[in-house]
Amino acid sequence: MSPAEAVAPPSCTVVVGLGRSGLGAARLLQARGETVVVIESADTPEHRALADQLQSEALAVRLGVPLSLEAFQDLPLPPAAVVVSPGIPWNHPVLEALRTRGVQVQGEIVPAWQASRDVPWIGITGTNGKTTVTCLVQHLLQQAGRDAPLCGNVGISAAEVVLQRRLEQGPRPDWLVVELSSYQIEAAPSVAPAIGVWTTLTPDHLERHGTLAAYRAIKRSLLERSRVRILNADDPDLRHHADSWDQAEWITAGPREALPAGLDPVLWIDGDDQVRGRQGPLFPASALAMPGAHNRQNLLLAVAVGLHAGLEPAVMEAACRCFPGVPHRLERLRSLKGITWFNDSKATNYDAAEVALRALEGPLVVLAGGQSKQGEAGAWLEQLRQRAAAVVLYGAARQEFAGLLESSGYGGVVKQEQDLEGAVALAATLAPALGCRGVLLSPACASFDQYTSFEARGDHFRRLVLALDTDS
C-alpha cells in the first residue's frame, strides 16, 4: 500500500466531563465524524438521564469513571485525543502522562476553533471586565446589523454555537464574540483570534497557575496570537509591560497626555467627555450609562473593536445608549426608601470588589464573604474605609475578613451572618439607620462555599432584595 493509501488505525476522542462545555464539544466532534466517548466521574440520577439522552444520539457515555489512566485503558478504541473542561487543571498528572504517550490533550474550546476557521473570532480576556466588554461588543455588533453570537466563558459554549450555526445548516456568523478565561487559553494554544482584547491583569487563580508571571503569560499568549491586539493602558500591570509589545493598540479612559511618553492610544476621553480617536471626536462617553471609571475603559475597548469591525461612531453611540448592562456586575436592582441596592456578585476577588466600591458614592453598607482567594487586600480595605459605613460579612470567609478589617483600622460597623439571607435582612436595617445611599453585594470571594457559581449567588441576592417589604 502506498503512503497516500495508508489509513490511520481506528481511534477515538475522549471527552472528560458531562458539563455544558463537554457536552457541546462531544456533540460537535461527533457531528464532524469522530468516534467519541464521554467519561464522567459522577453517577447521579441527573447524570444517568443525560447519559441516556446522549446514548440515544449514538454517543458513548461512561459514568462513575474518575480521571485516571485506567479509564483510558478500558476503552473500545485507543484514544487519539482527550478533550477536557476548564475545571480540570492543565497540569493534572493523568493529562501529563497521556501527553508523554502521544495522546493529544486539548481544551473544549479547540474543537469549536477547528470547526469555525472561516469565521473571525473576537477573543476577550482579562482578570476583570472581560464579561462586560464581551457583552458590549456583541451588543454593538448586533445593533449594527452584524450576526455575532456570544459564547465561550459566558453564555453558551463556543462548540454549541458552532454546532448550531454551521453543522445544522444555520447561517454563517459575521463574527464570533468569545470570552476566554485563563483556563481556556492555556488549554487552547492553537486559538488565534482576528481581534484580541485584554482588559486587566491582577492576581487571580494563583492556586491554579502558581505565580502572577505564569498567569500573565497565559493571558498574553492569546493576544500574541491575535492579528489585532487591543489593550487597556489604564491597567497598571498592562501599562508596566507596554514597552514589551511591538504591535498593540492602547486605550485610556483619561486624556492621552496623561499616559507615559511613547504610549500613544488609539482612543481616549478628554475633559469634554468626548470619546476621541486620532481622526477626531466620536461621541460622548456618557452614552454608556454605567457607573465607574472601569466601565469607561470597557467602553473604549469595545469601541476599538467596533471600529475594526467597520462600525460607524453614530451607530455605536446609539447602541451604547440602549445597552442594558450585565447581570451581577454592578447591577442596579431597586431603590427602596431612598436606598439603592446593587448586585456585584461577579466581584470574586479583592481587585474587582475595590473597583465596584470606587464606582459608587458612599456611604454604603457592603456585603462581603464566601470562599476567600489569595490576593492583596490592601486597596480593597482602603476603599471600605472611605465608602462603607458598615460591612456585613457572611459565609466561610466571615471570620477571616473580620480579622482583616480589624487589623486595617476600619472604623465602621462590622457584623457577621452565616448566610446571605441573614446578611440582606441585616443590611436592610443598617442602611437607613446609618444614613447610607446604597447597599452593595460585592463579595471579594468565590461563591463555592454556599453556591454553585457567582450567578447562583447573585440570583439569590436579587430574589432576596426584590422580596424586601416596602413597609418594613
Annotated binding site for ATP: 126-132
What is the per-residue DSSP string for 189-240? TT---SEEEE----S--HHHH-SHHHHHHHHHHHHHT-SEEEEETTSHHHHH
CB contact set of 371 (below 8 Å; sequence gap of 6+): 395, 396, 397, 445, 446, 447, 448, 449
- Residues annotated in a binding site: 126-132
Residue 150, phi then psi, degrees to nearest 5 = -100, 140
Integer CA distances (angstroms), 421 to 65, 343, 348, 462, in order: 37, 14, 19, 11
In 11-136, beta strands by DSSP E: 12-16, 36-40, 60-63, 79-84, 104-107, 121-125
Please give the Cα distance from 244 to 55 (Å, whole number): 51
* Placement of cell 479509564 in the chain: 71
Please give the Cα distance from 16 to 88 (Å, whole number): 9
- Edge-first strand listing for the sheet containing 228-232: 150-152, 176-179, 121-125, 195-198, 228-232, 249-251, 267-269, 274-277, 280-284
